[in-house]
Amino acid sequence: MPNHLGTPMMGTDPTTWKWVQVAEVGRFKGHPSGEFELTPELFGQVVANFKHDGIPIPFDLEHASEQDATSGSIPQHGAPAQGWIHDLDNRGERGLWALTEWGKQAKEYIRGGQYKFCSPALRFKSKDRVTGQPIGARLTSVAMTNQPYLVGLQTLAARDTGSTSTETVILARKMSDLVHSPHEYMPTIKQILKLGDLSTAAECSQHLDRLRELCMSMGPDGVHEGTNLSEYVAPLSKLVGASPGMTWDDVFDRVEDMIDAAIEQHEAEYHSGGARMSDAAPSTETTEETQTMATSDETVTQLKDAQTAVGKLQAEVVTLTQAKDAATVQLKEAHAALSTAQAAVTTLTAKTTELETKVTELSKWQADRMEADIRADVQVAFATYKDQRNLKDTDKDHMLSIAKAAPDAFRAMYPFVPEEQRHLLRTATPTVARDPKDAMMAITLSTVAKEIMAKDVNISYADAQIEAAKRLNEMAAASQ
């Protein structure tokens, strides 16, 4: 993991650096130096000034870095850093976080419970070291301390230093605190790590270290060599109550602290070096006292059994939660598939409607085209036979009706003549003489039309001629 300058610090292992919350959003009214407020905007100033300075910020003990060189134990011991802050992150409403490289002694203090709070020193009215211009808030150091201003809060609280300065406010935050005993959580840890009930806390620690190494080389999907590591990390995160923004490395640190506490308790109970009950001198207690001790031992045994049962129930809760999460994922995938199918149906419906519209337009175009072709044929026939048959403009509608109803009969009555020969049919003086065949067709058409009108008195002459043309057309086709 790089520092804020982009390169690891000399002699450090960036993979061991931890994100620590050092301040939270809030207003504090009871500090001796006066009321002050911490906001995301102020944290933004702190981060900007840190990156501008380009140097890490020290973690010390009891704000030694903020004291005079002649104060307290500083003349004899100085103010050595217990850790270094390599990066800052403004997480808005979730406060200001520091990427911290802990020193060896600091780790021992924290794990041993000797220090439980961190306390950042903020200078609200800092000035640029070169220009002297105001630049807002700056984080100058963070201390390990056991003097919280608001006792009992696990979130940040102002630390009462007795200072009257309004430029620097020191805060304190609880760093670690185990709520449950190892008897309650160790069975759950063993089950999550897929170890047997007889596994020791040391074996759990070794298995956790191996899991941490595998997580460092896992793919973006959380899988390492075919093993889904999220099956381990997810329940461990639930066990420690991981908050938003925590990394899997932070989760492992908390679990490691829990396992270390279990090891320490085991050593205190069974390997403290004191004499065992069997090695002690014979007891002179009365029978009543012995019975009381037996009852107490039985109560302890029952309590341990109950704690074991609670651990198993917690493991079952983790398993059920995982099943619920998997079902939720499947449900989301099903909803996504349904949405995709509905979108496809909508697209297909639109394309079908578009195709139907095009078919309708094509049908209309074909009908219009056919109408235009028939009218063109009638116009050509009228122009060709106008003089020969003494046709009038009023005859066009009659010719058009026959052409639509009986195309073959129309062609028989008005045979097509090439354009270069049409002048032969045109005369200066119209004549009524017609081709005998055409005359016979006209007579036959007229005769059939009259027969139709005789049978149907409601039919018009024009409709009778159209019907007659159809019948003659059918007869001609049948005779061929």
pTM of the model: 0.36
Q: What is the pLDDT of residue 140?
A: 93
Query: Which amino acid makes up residue 378?
Result: V
Domain ranges of the chain: 14-174, 180-270, 367-479
Query: Which amino acid makes up residue 215?
Result: C
Q: What is the pLDDT of residue 244?
A: 65
Q: Which of 257, 208, 250, 243 is nearest to 229 (CA)?
A: 208
Determine contact, residues 242/251, Cβ cutoff 8 Å: yes
Q: What is the pLDDT of residue 204?
A: 93
Distance, in Å, from the CA atom of 393 to the CA atom of 130, rounded to the nearest integer, reads 107
Q: Which of 388, 446, 411, 416 is nearest to 399 (CA)?
A: 411
Q: Please provide the DSSP assignment of 412-464 as one string.
A: HHS----GGGGGGG--SS------HHHHHHHHHHHHHHHHHHHH-TTS-HHHH
pLDDT 10s per residue in the chain (480 long)? Answer: 333 333 333 345 676 788 988 888 888 887 666 788 899 999 999 999 999 999 999 999 888 888 776 677 776 677 799 999 999 999 999 889 999 999 999 999 988 889 888 888 889 889 988 888 999 999 999 988 887 654 433 332 233 333 333 345 555 444 443 445 677 789 999 999 999 989 898 999 998 988 888 887 777 777 888 888 888 988 998 888 776 667 777 788 888 888 888 887 777 666 655 433 333 344 444 455 445 555 556 777 788 788 888 888 988 898 898 999 999 999 999 999 999 999 999 999 999 999 999 999 999 999 999 889 999 999 998 988 888 888 888 888 888 988 888 888 888 888 888 888 877 776 644 544 445 555 455 557 778 888 888 888 888 887 888 888 888 778 777 766
Q: What is the pLDDT of residue 14?
A: 74
